[in-house]
């Protein structure tokens, strides 16, 4: 992609999108989200931890950082002129922006995933799922694009429009420039990132973990979905899972805000994502805050998890009987 004589580090996000052949509206949308992330990272860096209900040095009321990140993104998307509908992990309903769906996109986002990790200075991220037109409740395989922004020691942005997965880094001018293009992951990994309490694992998941341990696979878990997925993607190997638990048959993570976009990205890198029985991108959401178990990463490791689960656990996760409402506290 880099022109002769120019290093790939000079390719910024907009140019990369244009050169990849992404249409003007989608390019504009992705760049607007990238712009919003600059304000979010600034709030994370400078905020007094953003604990809701407290005041800052000037006696002004503070917003929790996840609420602030949500407002920043919503405002940007609202004014972008290319969004039909949006929904946020922070909200209970779809927010209509324009009744005209033609040439527009609908966006589901988790503005600050893992926000409870901010006060212990661990990495957090923004996750975005983009569909063409008005519909946001389609299976994830219909996504037009997916991306995340990771606020770690460096700020990075990873996106895919279905043509590979590409990583950008924020430079000292707060511009995103290309770091790695067409990232791929191996078919079998040597690290695992296990969510959920182990004493609540089902026999299938427990046997899967024991198998990984016997193989000498290393445990690497930060507790933040974005950095944990980023690790699998950029190391090019490993598996993240937040499984069905004995007391939580649908696990914890949300299908529309967390799993669909990450499954899209990992599949684009040559990996796989499953709920233990079925491809994540084929799941049909019933409601906006539906959750699902997830096993995501190297293809062979995901297939092995499915095999243990099919053999030792007998029930497919059922749609939640009573849908979980958005909790008030940080994610
Ligand atoms: O969904 C929010 C989140 O913080 C994810 O970022 C992370 O993977 C998961 O929850 C961690 O859950 P737990 O606190 O149960 O380990």
Q: What is the CATH number of the domain that holds 308?
A: 3.40.190.80
State the closest ligand 1 atom to the C-alpha of 125, by its place in the atom list counted from 1: 6
What is the rounded average pLDDT of the residues 87-103?
94
Gap between the Cα atoms of 253 and 290, Å rounded: 8
What confidence tens digit (pLDDT) does each residue in 267-317 have? 999 999 999 999 999 999 999 999 999 999 999 999 999 999 999 997 655
Please check whether residue 317 lies inside any domain of the structure.
no
The predicted pLDDT at position 116 comes to: 85
Question: Residues 109, 255: one domain?
Answer: no
Strand partners, 254: 291
Residues across the chain = 331
What confidence tens digit (pLDDT) does each residue in 20-50 have? 999 999 999 999 999 999 999 999 988 655 4
Residue 57 has pLDDT above 70, yes or no: no
Domain carrying residue 278: 191-312
Gap between the Cα atoms of 321 and 328, Å rounded: 21
The predicted pLDDT at position 109 comes to: 98
What confidence tens digit (pLDDT) does each residue in 123-169 have? 999 999 999 999 999 999 999 999 999 999 999 999 999 999 999 99
Instruction: Give the end of a domain, one of 138, 157, 180.
Output: 180
What confidence tens digit (pLDDT) does each residue in 233-266 have? 999 999 999 999 999 999 999 999 999 999 999 9
Please check whether residue 330 lies inside any domain of the structure.
no
Answer whether 294 contacts ligand 1 (Cβ < 6 A): no
Q: How far is the CA of 326 from the centre of ligand 1 (A)?
A: 14
C-alpha count within 13 angstroms, C-beta hemisphere, residue 54: 10
Question: Residues 266, 288: one domain?
Answer: yes
Answer whether 200 contacts ligand 1 (Cβ < 6 A): no
Q: Indicate the number of domains in the chain.
A: 2
Answer whether 133 contacts ligand 1 (Cβ < 6 A): no
CB–CB of 84/72 below 8 Å?
Answer: no
Question: Residues 104, 225: one domain?
Answer: no
Please check whether residue 154 lies inside any domain of the structure.
yes
Question: Residues 26, 136: one domain?
Answer: yes
pLDDT band at 64 (very low <50, low <70, confident <90, very high): confident
Please check whether residue 164 lies inside any domain of the structure.
yes
Q: What DSSP string runs through 187-256? A: SS-SEEEE-S-GGGB-HHHHHHHHHHHHTTPEE---S-HHHHHHHHHHHT--EEEE--BTTBTT-SSBII
Gap between the Cα atoms of 60 and 71, Å rounded: 17
Q: How far is the CA of 113 from the centre of ligand 1 (A)?
A: 8
Answer whether 225 contacts ligand 1 (Cβ < 6 A): yes
pTM: predicted TM-score of the whole model, two decimal places: 0.91
Structure tokens, 102:
């033609």
pLDDT band at 53 (very low <50, low <70, confident <90, very high): low
Residue holding tokens 């893992």?
114
State the closest ligand 1 atom to the C-alpha of 253, by its place in the atom list counted from 1: 1
CATH of the domain at 93: 3.30.540.10
Question: Residues 23, 164: one domain?
Answer: yes
Answer whether 241 contacts ligand 1 (Cβ < 6 A): no
Question: Residues 92, 37: one domain?
Answer: yes
Please check whether residue 115 lies inside any domain of the structure.
yes
Q: How far is the CA of 114 from the centre of ligand 1 (A)?
A: 6
Instruction: Give the end of a domain, one of 148, 180, 212.
Output: 180
Distances (CA, A) of 148 to 101, 229, 248, 258: 24, 10, 26, 10
Residue 81 has pLDDT above 60, yes or no: yes
Instruction: Give the end of a domain, one of 131, 157, 180.
Output: 180
The predicted pLDDT at position 329 comes to: 37
The continuous run of DSSP H or E covering 88 comes out as: strand 83-88
The predicted pLDDT at position 46 comes to: 83
Please check whether residue 320 lies inside any domain of the structure.
no
The predicted pLDDT at position 322 comes to: 39
Whose CA is closest to 256, among 297, 294, 291, 293? 291
Question: Residues 202, 292: one domain?
Answer: yes
Question: Residues 77, 105: one domain?
Answer: yes
Q: Which of 65, 69, 111, 114 to mutate to test the pocket of ligand 1 (most atoms within 8 A of CB)?
A: 114
As a whole-number percent, the residues of the chain with pLDDT over 70 amount to: 87
Question: Residues 121, 260: one domain?
Answer: no
Question: Residues 23, 88: one domain?
Answer: yes
The predicted pLDDT at position 325 comes to: 41
DSSP 78: H
Question: Residues 158, 211: one domain?
Answer: no
Please check whether residue 327 lies inside any domain of the structure.
no
What confidence tens digit (pLDDT) does each residue in 1-18 have? 545 444 555 899 999 999
Please check whether residue 67 lies inside any domain of the structure.
yes
Question: Residues 207, 230: one domain?
Answer: yes
Gap between the Cα atoms of 295 and 143, Å rounded: 19
Q: How many separate helices (H) and strands (E) can be counted in the chain? A: 7, 13
What is the rounded average pLDDT of the residues 59-73?
80
């Amino acid at each position: 992609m880099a022109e002769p004589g120019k290093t790939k580090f000079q390719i910024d996000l907009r140019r990369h999108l244009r050169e990849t052949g992404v249409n003007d509206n989608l390019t504009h949308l992705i760049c607007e989200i990238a712009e919003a992330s600059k304000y979010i990272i600034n709030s994370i860096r400078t905020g007094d931890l953003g604990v809701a209900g407290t005041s800052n040095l000037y006696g002004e009321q503070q917003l929790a950082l996840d609420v602030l990140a949500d407002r920043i993104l919503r405002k940007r998307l609202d004014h972008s002129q290319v969004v039909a509908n949006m929904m946020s992990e922070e909200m209970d309903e779809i927010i209509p922006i324009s009744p005209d769906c033609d040439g527009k996109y609908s966006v589901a986002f988790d503005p600050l995933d893992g926000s409870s990790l901010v006060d212990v200075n661990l990495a957090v991220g923004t996750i975005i799922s983009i569909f063409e037109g008005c519909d946001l409740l389609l299976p994830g395989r219909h996504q037009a694009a997916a991306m995340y922004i990771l606020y770690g020691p460096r700020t990075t942005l990873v996106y895919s429009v279905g043509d590979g997965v590409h990583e950008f880094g924020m430079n000292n001018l707060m511009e995103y420039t290309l770091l790695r293009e067409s990232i791929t992951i191996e078919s079998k990994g040597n690290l695992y990132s296990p969510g959920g309490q182990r004493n609540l694992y089902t026999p299938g998941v427990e046997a899967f973990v024991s198998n990984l341990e016997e193989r000498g696979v290393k445990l690497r878990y930060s507790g933040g979905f974005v950095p944990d997925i980023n690790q699998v993607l950029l190391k090019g190997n490993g598996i993240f899972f937040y499984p069905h638990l004995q007391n939580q048959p649908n696990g914890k993570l949300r299908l529309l805000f967390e799993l669909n976009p990450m499954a899209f990205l990992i599949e684009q890198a040559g990996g796989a994502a499953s709920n233990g029985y079925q491809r994540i991108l084929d799941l049909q959401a019933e409601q906006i805050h539906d959750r699902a178990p997830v096993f995501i990463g190297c293809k062979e490791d995901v297939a092995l998890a499915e095999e243990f689960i099919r053999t030792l656990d007998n029930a497919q996760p059922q749609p939640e009987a009573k849908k979980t409402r958005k909790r008030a506290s940080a994610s």
